[in-house]
Structure 1
Amino acid sequence: MTLLAAEGLTKRFGGVVAANGVSFALEPGEMLAMIGPNGAGKSTTFNMVGGQLRPDAGRVTLAGQDVTNTPPRALCRLGVGRSFQVAQTFLSFTVVGNVQMALIAHQRQTRQMLSDAAALHRDAALALLDRVGMAAQADRPIGELAYGDVKRVELAIALAGAPRLLLMDEPTAGMAPSERAALMALVAGIARRERIGVLFTEHDMDSVFAHADRILVLVRGEIIARGSPEDVRADPEVQRVYLGQSGTKAAARARRTHG
């Protein structure tokens, strides 16, 4: 069964049509990238799927269940995890404490936080940190970490809810090129191994062409192309309005690295 389906999503802000009839599907274990120039409608579409915006038309289904207009907290209960362009962590907490907080919230145990939060779900939190390569730094204050490591912790936080769908908004923003490659390889490995569908927006074309199974290209609120990285790379309209020379070079690097 298709994991996520968007059907005819449309959103207007006054006289501006930010998204116009956007439709796509995502399968379990698939990495689907949404790209396009600034103002293309990526964030609007992403936020309609994630429950932050109410569409004016269209619907969103999760494994066949209509979740249109379902708020983010309720989507989390249905198996939707999310990471953000700017990492959302508690800087005064330890690495493991941040993941424990996510597990406590997912289990609805916030009343126990004042008494024994430090002991709640520590083993489960350590296991999640091990999955993202951060177990060795579990007891460090998160404020001491390099930004690439903070993003790994944020991934562990997103995995705390045992998601079947992961929404990632600019996951490599603010990271060095080597950190970007390592994070996206980690995400892709987890997604394919655990059959988690991943929808992500990204400006770094190296990350997109190296790790996406399929790509959606939005321009002025509409999808102008979709398909495999190879299909998108060869599309003359995509080349004209978005990728240009830099996108061609990124695609070539991805072929050399992974092909």
Structure 2
Amino acid sequence: MSVLEVEGLAKAYGGVQALGGVSFTVGAGELLALIGPNGAGKSTCFNIVDGQIRPDRGTVRLAGREVTGLPPRRMARLGVGRTFQIAAVFDSLTVLENVQAALIAARRQTFALWRPAATIAREEAQHLLEQTGMADHAGRPASELAYGDVKRLELAMAIASEPLLLLMDEPTAGMAPAERLALIELVKRLTRSRGLAVLFTEHSMDVVFGHADRVVVLAGGQIVASGDVDAIRADPQVRALYLGTGRAAGGRA
């Protein structure tokens, strides 16, 4: 059974059709890249999946359960994690405290006021930092981290809730080439070891073609191609719409 099933998603803003009947699935242990030129409908699709936007029609199912239109907080409780194009961490906290905060929120332990927060989920947080290569930075304030390390910290926080589905919006944006590849390799390892389903958008084609299991290409709110990376790389319509000219008709991001 697929972890995520998207069927017939459609969304219009006034007279602009942002999505026009988009369908795809993502399985456990799979990285699916959602790509396309600016205005293709990627952000609209993402925001529908995690509950920020209600579709005009269509359904979203998570592990077989229909979740269409549920708010982001509810989606998070049901097993949807997310990272953002601009990483969101708490600069005033240490790296370890950031992950502890994510674990406390995921476990709804915020009511445990009689326990010092620094003692809650400390070992689990340390383990997540080890998995993401951030253990050596545990005591550093997040404000002192290099950008690539901030992205790793955000990833550790996102998987703290043990999600079924991880949504990653431009995960390597603003990173140097070597950092980009290192981060997506880390994501792939975690995807395999944890059985995560990962849906990500990305403009870096070396990241997409080097690490995605399958690719869905949007243009003008429609799927114009889908398949493995070799098929997408060779598809003449994809090359014309996105990889070649970088232009496509209509739509909204």
Normalization by structure 2: what TM-score?
Answer: 0.95
AA at the equivalent of 1:106: A
State the alpha-carbon separation in 2 of the partners of residues 107 and 188 from structure 1: 25
The offset of 1:44, in angstroms, is 0.3
Which residue in 2 is equivalent to 1:56?
56
The offset of 1:188, in angstroms, is 0.5
AA at the equivalent of 1:91: D
The offset of 1:115, in angstroms, is 5.2
AA at the equivalent of 1:243: L
The offset of 1:194, in angstroms, is 1.6
AA at the equivalent of 1:46: F
Which residue in 2 is equivalent to 1:167?
167
AA at the equivalent of 1:188: K
Asked if 1:203 corresponds to 2:203, the answer is yes
After superposition, the CA RMSD in angstroms is 1.2
* Alignment deviations for residues 132-152 of structure 1 (CA, whole Å, 9 cap, x no partner): 010111010011110000000
Asked if 1:239 corresponds to 2:212, the answer is no
Which residue in 1 is equivalent to 2:249?
none
Q: 1:24 to 1:123 in 2, by over 3 A?
A: same
Which residue in 1 is equivalent to 2:85?
85
State the alpha-carbon separation in 2 of the partners of residues 49 and 141 from structure 1: 33
Q: What are the equivalent positions in structure 2 for 1:35-74 lying under 5 Å apart?
A: 35-74=35-74
* Alignment deviations for residues 195-240 of structure 1 (CA, whole Å, 9 cap, x no partner): 1010000001110000000000000000000000000011110011
Normalization by structure 1: what TM-score?
Answer: 0.93
AA at the equivalent of 2:239: Q
State the alpha-carbon separation in 1 of the partners of residues 245 and 176 from structure 2: 21
AA at the equivalent of 2:199: L
Which residue in 2 is equivalent to 1:20?
20
State the alpha-carbon separation in 1 of the partners of residues 5 and 108 from structure 2: 28
More helix by share: 1
Which residue in 2 is equivalent to 1:178?
178
Give the paired residue count: 246
Point out where structure 1 has 5 or more consecutive residues left out of the alignment: 247-259
State the alpha-carbon separation in 1 of the partners of residues 40 and 85 from structure 2: 17
Choose 106-115 or 234-243, whichever is displaced more.
106-115
State the alpha-carbon separation in 1 of the partners of residues 114 and 237 from structure 2: 57
* Alignment deviations for residues 47-79 of structure 1 (CA, whole Å, 9 cap, x no partner): 101111100000000111001011111111111
* Percentage identity across paired residues of the two chains: 59
Point out where structure 2 has 5 or more consecutive residues left out of the alignment: 247-253
* Alignment deviations for residues 28-57 of structure 1 (CA, whole Å, 9 cap, x no partner): 000000000000000000110111110000
* Alignment deviations for residues 92-133 of structure 1 (CA, whole Å, 9 cap, x no partner): 100001001101111112233585111111111001111101
State the alpha-carbon separation in 2 of the partners of residues 3 and 121 from structure 1: 27
SS at match of 1:75: helix
State the alpha-carbon separation in 1 of the partners of residues 240 and 113 from structure 2: 54
SS at match of 1:118: helix
Higher relative contact order (CA 8 A, sep 6+): 2
State the alpha-carbon separation in 2 of the partners of residues 211 and 193 from structure 1: 15
Which residue in 2 is equivalent to 1:98?
98
State the alpha-carbon separation in 1 of the partners of residues 14 and 113 from structure 2: 44
